Amino acid sequence: MMAESSKPVAATGLRGKLRRHEPMARHTSWRVGGPADRCFEPADIEDLAAYLRQLPADEPVLWVGLGSNLLVRDGGLRGSVILTGGVLDGIERPGDTIIKFGAGVPCAKVARHCANAGLAGAEFLVGIPGTMGGALAMNAGAFGGETWSLVSAVETMDCQGRVRLRQTTDYRVAYRSVQGPANEWFIAAHLRLRPGDVNAGVARIRELLARRSETQPTGVASCGSVFRNPPGDFAGRLIESCGLKGHCIGGACVSEKHANFIVNAGRATAADIEALIVHVRESVERERGVRLEPEVHIVGEREPAPEQVTHD
């Protein structure tokens, strides 16, 4: 068990919102997760840089967009969470076919903005319920499109609040995986689009949303696909073939509609969800000989920090 990271964080001169012991269940699409020691929602880029500069050098920092690919354990997170969703939301057009999106812009807005500007290529982002920054971190993709196939450059911030413009060659990008310089996070993406037609873009968006609602559970708390597809196969097909659709542990259930989704059926804890992930993984490995790798990022402590434990 780790104690709360209690080193002093000066928090002077900040304009954003700094909350202590903030339940991460409020910031994840699974609606589970214990408290973060500190949760900072910056007012803007300068405010964010000022916050990062004030942190002790060994403060753990986790950037969170819309928490749509994140399982935060019930004991919460030590250190600082930086919330970008709803902030870092600037949109600029530095070139005819290049648009710069702040890391906090929702993917759906990226898709619609490009389509309405008569630029093609970003339509697939419309149904991905995360931010531009989260899409960069995950190389999010759907219906044959992938985030990094659009990226011409990214802007990053390091733990000293320094901003850099980086080229795609600074990153190793693969299916749902991106590796780049350590201790740097995305603050903006420059996307290169193709000239297109507004009506065709809007129609394509409508079509992709319809296809999604036919095949995926909507209106329930989930994190999208839990496991990456193994080479040449589909995680959902393998899980379904093991008879796991509808299997529940506590309040966490494998979706009846799409076997690679785990839904919070009401009162799930992060421990329920993680136990179900382990169960699915072990079942598929035992019965089909395939070891599935989680796509969702699992973070945080299983137990609360000692100061948070309450006694009846």
Ligand X SMILES: Cc1cc2nc3c(=O)[nH]c(=O)nc-3n(C[C@H](O)[C@H](O)[C@H](O)COP(=O)(O)OP(=O)(O)OC[C@H]3O[C@@H](n4cnc5c(N)ncnc54)[C@H](O)[C@@H]3O)c2cc1C
Q: Which residues bind ligand X (CB under 6 A)?
A: 29, 62-70, 84, 103, 128-131, 133-135, 137-138, 140-142, 185-186, 222-224, 297
In the complex, least distance from residue 249 CB atom to ligand X, rounded to whole angstroms: 19
Among all residues, which ones are annotated catalytic? 176, 225, 295
Task: Considering the complex, state which of residue 9 and residue 135 has its C-beta at the smaller distance from ligand X.
Answer: 135
In the complex, least distance from residue 163 CB atom to ligand X, rounded to whole angstroms: 13
In the complex, least distance from residue 207 CB atom to ligand X, rounded to whole angstroms: 15
In the complex, least distance from residue 22 CB atom to ligand X, rounded to whole angstroms: 14
Task: Considering the complex, state which of residue 118 and residue 141 has its C-beta at the smaller distance from ligand X.
Answer: 141
One-character DSSP codes across the chain: -PPP--S-----S--SEEEEEEEGGGGSTT----EEEEEEE-SSHHHHHHHHHHS-TT--EEEESS-TTEEE-TT-EEEEEEE-TTSS--EEEEETTEEEEETTSBHHHHHHHHHHTTEES-GGGGG--SBHHHHHHHT-EETTEEGGGTEEEEEEEETT--EEEEEGGG-EEETTEEE-STTEEEEEEEEE-EE--HHHHHHHHHHHHHHHHHHS--SSB--SBSBPPPTTS-HHHHHHHTT-TT-EETTEEE-SS-TTBEEE-SS--HHHHHHHHHHHHHHHHHHH-----B-SEEES-SS--GGG----
In the complex, least distance from residue 290 CB atom to ligand X, rounded to whole angstroms: 20
Task: Considering the complex, state which of residue 288 and residue 297 has its C-beta at the smaller distance from ligand X.
Answer: 297
d(CA 58, CA 9): 12
Task: Considering the complex, state which of residue 66 and residue 114 has its C-beta at the smaller distance from ligand X.
Answer: 66
Task: Considering the complex, state which of residue 70 and residue 249 has its C-beta at the smaller distance from ligand X.
Answer: 70
What is the separation of C-alpha 281 from the centre of its chain, rounded to a whole number of angstroms?
21
